Structure 1
Amino acid sequence: MSSASSTGGRRIWRLLLLFLLLALLAAAAAGAWLYQDYQRFTHAPLATDGQVRIIDIPRGQGFRGVVGQLQQQGVDGGVHELYWRALAWQHKATIQAGEYEVGPRLTPLTLLEKLARGQVIQHRFTLVEGWTVHELRLALAQDPVLVQTLAGVSENELLAQAGIDSMIEGASGQVSPEGLFLPETYHFTRGTTDAQLLRRAHDALRKALGDAWDARQAGLPLASPYEALVLASIIEKETGLPEERGEVAGVFVRRLKLGMRLQTDPTVIYGLGPDFSGPLLRRHLDADTPHNTYTRAGLPPTPIALPGRASIKAALDPAPGDTLYFVARGTGGHVFSRTLQEHNRAVAEYRRRMRGQ
């Protein structure tokens, strides 16, 4: 072999080694850049404008669909879904279906952790103490998130359509849904139906009523938990101030023991139906309905509203005393009286105050 051929061969090998070295350096530089870019993507805030976005991930949706939603919202991190897949593989994360809030401080890593843990948005619905079932259903129908399944269902069919078949002890016949849902704030996720929320509220009512019944005072003129619920609903509508619940309950319990009629206006109003808007007149008090406690003795046949925990407790643990009457002050709260004579004076004072106003 000539020296020229040997020199040429060495030159080619050197060129090949140089090319290989340059290729390795380029690959290393590209790898370093990709790693830094991946780290930047992982820890950079998604929403740089400070706005909150909402994404709703249905069951079975993969990364492509999730990234597509983020792209539509303008918070995808500005990269291919490959980065998202790499991030999920690195952290062994599986996305849970549901509705999520993408806040301005979330990074792809913290968002992925949120999706993997199923930290979905919790919506709220509040049942208000003293609502009737009619008012409750109006509020349910107006909720923009709950899935509506009970529209057009009559009150007589409501319990069956909502899947509620467990009744309160002491209820008989075709049970009214009135009073059978506990006023509270309930958290729920998107996709929850109005029927599901009512079942939760009914279960909560049964638990609260059962606990209060088990701890009730001895000697109450109440034959069953359902009668206690009826009384609690009257207390709920008659209570002007929270601290008066026990005393209001005491008046009604003593009247029941003595066989006196309860003579409470809210029961009359309830019996006149949801279209009644007042004022309550003498002819209304004389108009007999199953709920009119001026014309009928004892408790009405059903609750007249949704009683809260405090009213349920008051019905089963009334304050001691000897008062049998009460009337509104006109300035908040009530005047309680032991005798009819005292009560008539309080009523006259109330009427004078109302005329003055």
Structure 2
Amino acid sequence: MAKTRAVRGATLNAESRRCNLPHTQADGDWLDAREALDGAPPPLRTMVTVEHPKTIISRNRSPDVPFDRSVNPYRGCEHGCIYCFARPSHAFHDLSPGLDFESRLFAKPAAAALLRAELAKPGYQVAPIALGTNTDPYQPIEREWRITRSVVEVLAECRHPLTITTKSDRVVRDLDLLGPMARDGLAAVAVSVTSLDPKVAMTVEPRAPHPERRLLAVRKLAEAGLPVYVSISPVIPAITDGEMEALVARAAEAGATAVGYIPVRLPWEVAPLFRAWLDEHFPERAGKVMSMVQSIRGGRDNDPNFFTRMQGSGPWADLFRARFRLAARKHGLDGARIGLRSDLFRPPRGSQGELFD
């Protein structure tokens, strides 16, 4: 049975060994006695550091990813999803992909201004910008920082196509912007729902909204005219795979336009974090889960190869694929994803291009 105590996602906070971190740094004897002197360690608090990037649009050339550019208003994610493939990116900041990824976050308050400048550059070629590709743009700190909303405001003003991926119902807060964009074929949203069981969801994604709140967000988005894609990702063998059909049915009931799924991926430091999490929360089936994961991933914890990394291979992957296709077809959700328009773009107000309009 899954343990219900899950304040954060990861059970470890080890430093990454990929980026020359100071593993041999001496701590001093006083650290050994610190807990005894001070009592129990204080609760883990979320810390936010302001980041000052020079650009905000990230370019992507991966052939198995359906977008070529994205904007990430934040680094790290407070949702704490144990499987998050973005965790290893925290190692580049000399921080742990474990608890640091969930609690030591970076915010980019200048994102909207940077985006406005990049969209105003002569020769800018329009294509959908993806939000939510590395960390969730509507994670809890968005409530105060509102950086994601400022980015959406710029895209709405410029009539620029936008896709959003989130597992937060906070996205409906921005329906005043997204609704009109959708009516012009400029916006689509993917909502991630991995389990309908609140105990499992709280363990896998401890600080993400309840699954029913996410499904309600799907309904509200659909009623506002947005194409809504429900992502049943990742599918975790022997933990959430049994819910695939029920999740597809609930997505259809909520008004989703289409559904998709990806088997769990465990790149770099995610694999040891995931194994430790299994030992803590699902010890009775940890071996079975990893055996199935490795079957899907060619005998390894992770398959980094293009195309197969998103689909998996082998008997278990084939079974998941067949089950999912049948469920999607049954509920009429096996159609192609909605395309967005790129012909309505207008440069930001005050840009050089306006002089020649």
Shorter chain as normaliser: what TM range?
Answer: under 0.3
Structure with more relative contact order (C-alpha pairs < 8 Å, separation 6 or more): 2
Which structure features the higher share of helix residues? 1
Larger Cα-atom Rg: 1
Structure 1 or 2: more strand by fraction? 2
TM-score by length of 1: 0.21
